[in-house]
Amino acid sequence: MLGGGYGRGEGGVLRTVAGDRPYNDLEFYVFVRGHPRLNERTYGAALHAVAEELTAAAGVDVEFKLDSLARLRRSPVTMFTYDLAMGHRWVLGTEELLAGCAHHRRAADIPLHEATRLLLNRCTGLLLAHERLQRPVLTADEADFVTRNLAKARLALGDVLLAAVGRYHWSCRERGRLIAEDEAADLAVWPWFPAVREQHRRGVEFKLRPERSLATAAQLRAEWETVSLLARHLWLWIEGRRLQRRFRRPREYALCAADKCPETSRLRNFALNLWRRGLRALWACGATRYPRERLLRTLPLLLWEPAALSQSVLLRHLRRELDSTAEAFSGFVSDYTRLWARYR
């Protein structure tokens, strides 16, 4: 099954002097009977080799992701499974294979923590862009990286608001219409909604018609500041709504001891921490918390608290949550990224 933007018929088209080119990754899902982890051991290396061959031939990243239809049928709806169920193209297989997956087609059932997860991932992109913007020289490839992540964050600002009120839609065009027109009027009470609406429009535009960046580092920094500030407001708002608390500042949220992933199993979390962190998990603070919470407790500091590395309380917090001995900002970003790669 072809998923992602191209599976939904909304993959980016880059216009070049040589003609139109694909811009986004090609994401194929291979459904195999049996346990996905065991299948990964059996078929993962071979699929990875094929993906590398096809990437070279296609000129765009090709990915194969192993899964099982049985697991999909019994799993709860997420933003990812909703997008996949609603927008895809079969390369080998028929729609009858998705029998028993009707619950993945109900956008209103997507839980609020999925909106938080989307915002976490797009704000991580902002963090990685910020780290590149701090370098003395910004290369053309780095400028493209920053531009792409700004565009993804712009799109996510509106998407998260729609998900929060149960009106997320698989099509970015339709989400753009919902944000722009009267159907989203109940969102207009949010103070920053007009700014989010404009940023979302730009995000949809870039997703469908991406362009190579011609902006200077100074221009990209200014754009980053605008998008990052809106993301900060949205983060505190949606997490306050989700956790039923009021957060005035990112540091207040990061240091809050409340369980930020209450939907997860404490027993499973403990086993996962023990497996990943070893025996120190037995006495570590938060041993029964889902590891993604460590991302939620550190990203707001790295992204929105510039003085975090100069304040001993926040510095100890970052080192403890990230198992880090870093001194510089780039070191903390590297440690954060390794954790994010596992639990995004």
Whole-angstrom distance, CA of residue 85 vs CA of residue 312: 47
Angstrom distances, CA of residue 75 to CA of 5, 69, 195, 256, 263: 22, 10, 36, 30, 14
Whole-angstrom distance, CA of residue 216 vs CA of residue 143: 8
Q: How confident is the model at residue 286, as a pLDDT?
A: 79
SS3 170: coil
Q: How confident is the model at residue 276, as a pLDDT?
A: 79
Angstrom distances, CA of residue 180 to CA of 17, 151, 173, 174, 207: 33, 17, 11, 10, 17
SS3 220: helix
Query: Facing residues of 20 across strands?
Result: 15
Q: How confident is the model at residue 243, as a pLDDT?
A: 96
Q: Are 309 and 316 in contact (CB under 8 A)?
A: no
Which pair of tokens denotes residue 96? Answer: 């009858």
Q: How confident is the model at residue 252, as a pLDDT?
A: 97
**For every one of its 344 residues, what pLDDT tens digit does the chain have, with 9 covering 90 and above?**
999 999 999 999 988 888 898 888 999 999 999 998 899 999 999 999 999 999 999 889 999 999 999 999 999 999 999 999 999 999 999 999 999 999 999 999 999 999 999 999 999 999 999 999 999 999 999 999 999 999 999 999 999 999 998 999 999 999 999 998 865 566 777 889 999 999 999 999 999 999 988 899 999 999 999 999 999 999 999 999 999 999 999 999 999 999 999 999 999 988 888 887 777 666 667 788 999 999 999 999 999 998 999 999 999 999 999 999 999 999 999 999 999 999 99
Q: How confident is the model at residue 292, as a pLDDT?
A: 95
pTM of the model: 0.92
Q: How confident is the model at residue 281, as a pLDDT?
A: 65
Reference 320, options 255, 250, 252, 261; nearest CA is 255
Q: How confident is the model at residue 184, as a pLDDT?
A: 56
Q: Count how many Cα atoms sit within 13 Å of the Cα of residue 153 in the half-sphere of its side chain.
A: 28
Q: Checking phi first, is residue 290 left (phi over 0); if not, alpha (psi -120 to 50) or beta?
A: beta
Local structure of residue 76 (DSSP, 8 states): P
